[in-house]
Amino acid sequence: MTSDKPAHSWAPPPADASRVGITLETFILEGQLGHPAATGAFTSLLNQIGLAAKLVTAKVRRAGLARLLGYTGQTNVQGELVQKLDEEANETLISVLGRRKHCAAIASEELETERILSTDPRAKYLVVFDPLDGSSNIDCNISIGTIFGVLRKSSTHTVETSDFLRPGRELVAAGYILYGSSTMLIITTGTGGVHGFTYDPTVGEFFLSHENIRIPDRASLYSINEGNSTYWHESVQRWNAWVKEEDKATGRPYGARYVGSLVADAHRTLMKGGIFAYPGDRKSPSGKLRLLYEANPFAFIFEAAGGKASTGRERILDIQPTALHQRVPLALGSIRDVEIFEEFVRSER
Ligand code: P6P
């Protein structure tokens, strides 16, 4: 393994006066996301996602008071008990995205199959989302999040499942909302940089707070559920031992961080660098995370921020999906840290 010093965490550039107070809506309207084919419809769709984020954060922030915690008693397509907030967030996103007729259809973690929202020929976009990721943390007030990706509709016929089964490199936008100590919305169109907006509940607006986020090339942090180590393939066990060895030249031992909420673990990794991994193992050969609405959006974001996302063997964004809810092993983070992880996986005996 090469020895290269880990870089420092990304820190937002000093906000100069001209950049303070820019709202998400202004930033999108001014095409500052750098989307080459920015049209009114695309702008409108992204602003609708911003509205959905405000509505969901309002529910998340008062869940305990509005007795939204707990379970509905139903189970979703994943066989998981649906929490009331999951359902609320799912319905909010569907309702808001259906209003302006730019979104032809959605695919959600909470729905077995796609949902057609508009057959209007002007509806040019498809949206994939996990409405409330990390739901197992909802009742203990740990950070959770919404993950989304936007595809351009590639066919003229009414949307079918196959319209969603496209490699993540075809996304035209992706982002997430993190309901943490503050609510943040992170968004990218892939080419125009990755930008963070922090929600001010006193005025009900997302304000630009982290312009052009770049992930450090490497950092001494790793994030993985070590409770699964008995099931890991031997190469992952060797990697896990390697990050914990002492070697000052490569910033080891790495610090361990694990929330158990993908949006929280991924956001910290984006901001500070290092690696998040949910690998395949003997128990779950394809890992746990979903390709379409978890791995692909984050892979799109991390590559746009100068990071890397792979299964350990192949680029996430090149995977040809075969099913809406298929799982995929995920190694996400600083380019050098993911490369080191890949070197171990490829050395599997
Ligand atoms: P584990 C939450 O349920 C989730 O889908 C992701 O948000 C998170 O990264 C992962 O599962 C955590 O899984 O097995 O470590 O509890």
Q: What is the pLDDT of residues 143-157, one digit of tens each?
A: 999 999 999 998 888
Q: What is the sign, positive or negative, of the torsion defined by CA atoms of 295, 301, 303, 305?
A: negative
6: pLDDT strictly greater than 60: no
Q: How far apart are the C-alpha atoms of 293 and 235, rounded to whole Å?
A: 27
Residue owning the nearest CA to atom 4 of ligand 1: 134
Q: How far apart are the C-alpha atoms of 138 and 60, rounded to whole Å?
A: 9
Name the residue with higher pLDDT: 319 or 69: 319
Cis peptide bond upstream of 321, omega within 30: no
Distance between Cα 225 and ligand 1 center (Å): 9
Q: How many CB atoms lie within 10 A of CB 336?
A: 23
Enclosing H/E stretch for 207: strand 205-210
Cα separations in angstroms, 98 against 46, 49, 81, 103: 13, 11, 26, 6
Name the residue with higher pLDDT: 212 or 40: 212
Beta strand 221-223 pairing with 275-278: parallel
Q: Which atom of ligand 1 is nearest to the CA of 289?
A: 5
Distance between Cα 261 and ligand 1 center (Å): 5
Enclosing H/E stretch for 309: strand 308-310
Weakest-pLDDT range from 26-40, 102-116, 254-268 = 26-40
Q: What is the pTM of this model?
A: 0.93
Mean pLDDT of the chain: 91
Cα–Cα nearest to 50, from 192, 202, 187: 187
Distance between Cα 14 and ligand 1 center (Å): 34
133 lines ligand 1 (CB under 6 A): yes
263: pLDDT strictly greater than 80: yes
Domains annotated for the chain, with CATH where assigned, are 24-210 (3.30.540.10), 221-346 (3.40.190.80)
